[in-house]
Amino acid sequence: MGQVREIVLLAALAGFALAAAGCLQKGPQALANDEIQAAFARFQRALEAGDGVAAARELANEAFIYYRGLREAALVGTADELRRMPIDVRYEVLKLRGRMTADELAALDARGLTEQFLSRQWVNVDFLRGLRLGNVIHHDRHAEVRFSDDDGPTTRRLVFRPEADGWKFDLAATAGIQRRLLQSLMTDRGLTEEELLSALLSESVGQRPLDELWLPLQPPGRSTDRDG
């Protein structure tokens, strides 16, 4: 009888262990949330270290599309074309013209330029490295993630996208955050868009004449394609 009771007890314990393991097993969304947290942590570490290649590996394809557009606009965009762009894009294009020559920029493809932005920390490093991810909201083709910054929880969200090799951070989607920041600066300082851009560019590109930054880096008609 003692052996029978032991067998029954062992069977009960085994069943309990299996049930507990089943409860602890994570579903697809929970696993995705872990991947998102890990990917962003890797991005932050690489960004802090100035490792643009490693940081770029954590980015969604939308980031490379965004930087391809900046490259194209910096090389051949006219002043009229730039003035029709959102203020945040205009600001990035003008800064890029002040930081790189036509030959330097033309030699890079979209991924190469993205890596340059990350390694030289031309993105908002102070903002990005201080973020702490919170709740994840899953949609059909992307996830939005609430986050906290140095001032605490915010109402803004970061975007992550699933790709063949895992979840990736959509850095391009943070452009809206910079746009709102620039608009807030305009209001606080009582400046027009061009006055604000002139003030910011004087700080970021030094003594370069601002009028030159509105001119395309390359002459019209010259090919800018480096991405096939």
Q: Is residue 151 situated within a structural domain?
A: no
Answer yes or no: are the C-beta atoms of 70 and 92 closer than 8 Å.
yes
For residues 155 and 61, give the distance between their C-alpha atoms in angstroms, rounded to a whole number: 25
Domain-embedded: residue 180: yes
**Predicted TM-score (pTM) of this structure:** 0.84
Sign for the pseudo-dihedral over CA of 52, 109, 175, 143: negative
Determine, yes or no, domain membership for 3.
Answer: no
What is the DSSP code (8-state) at residue 158? Answer: E
Average pLDDT of 191-217?
Answer: 89
Q: Determine, yes or no, domain membership for 219.
A: no
Backbone angles phi, psi at 155, to 5 degrees: -90, -5
Between the CA of residue 217 and those of 80, 108, 140, what are the distances in Å?
Answer: 15, 14, 40
How far is C-alpha 101 from the chain's CA centre? 24
Domain count, the chain: 1
Range of the domain at 80: 27-130+164-213
Model confidence pLDDT, tens digit, residues 132-181? 999 999 999 999 999 999 899 999 999 999 999 999 999 999 998 899 99
Is 182 a member of any domain? yes
Name, in order, each residue with C-beta under 8 angstroms of 202's C-beta and a sequence gap of 6 or more: 210
CA–CA distance, 220 with 130 (Å, rounded to integer) = 42
Residue at 222 is within a domain? no
> Which tens digits make up the pLDDT trace of 12-70?
445 544 444 444 567 889 999 999 999 999 999 999 999 999 999 999 999 999 999 99
Is 68 among the domain residues? yes
Residue 8 domain flag? no
